[in-house]
Amino acid sequence: MIHLSRREFTRLVRQAYRHVPPSVKSALRNLDIAVEDWPDPGDLDDMGVPGGNSGTLFGLYTGVPLPEREGPEPALPDRITIFRQPILRSCSSRSEAEREIRVTLWHEIGHYLGMSEEDLERLGYG
């Protein structure tokens, strides 16, 4: 486990987002990216995380994936949440945390774009 302040962790999430290619960023509309310390217990239940083990969920996409949308743009943004404490508790170095943040962000962006868990696993973002 390593320690990074919430501010530093958020800075690393922003840094990871800056490395998303422009071709992918152009598809990201009406999307909020947030950092929370822990997942909400209701989110864990919805995800089927066994025993409410909040330490196993690093990120969460909430919304309607791009390919499933119909009609006008939704009023409220879709949301990607990156969970700080589970990531920090699973990493032993800053570089490992940076990598996990990057993988988690890409994983959740993949869900926004309509990718399945199997698609993401094949791409190395499982």
**72-89 pLDDT, tens digit each:** 777 789 999 999 999 999
DSSP-derived 3-state class of residue 54: helix
Higher pLDDT, 107 or 53: 107
Specify whether the CB–CB gap between 82 and 101 falls below 8 A: yes
Question: DSSP character for 20?
Answer: S
pLDDT for the residue numbered 20: 94
pLDDT for the residue numbered 85: 95
Higher pLDDT, 34 or 71: 34
Q: Is the pLDDT of residue 47 over 80?
A: no
Global pTM value: 0.90
The pair of three-digit structure tokens given for residue 51, joined into one six-digit string: 């025993």
* CA 51 centroid distance within chain: 21
Q: Look at the block and give the residue holding tokens 């995380």.
A: 49
Backbone torsions φ then ψ of 40, nearest 5 degrees:
-75, 140
Q: Is the pLDDT of residue 51 over 60?
A: no
Q: Is the pLDDT of residue 12 over 90?
A: yes
Reported as a pLDDT band with limits 50, 70 and 90, residue 52 is low
pLDDT for the residue numbered 55: 66
Q: Which fold has domain 6-66+76-122?
A: Zincin-like (3.30.2010)
Q: CA 99 to CA 81: how far, in whole Å?
A: 16
Specify whether the CB–CB gap between 106 and 125 falls below 8 A: yes
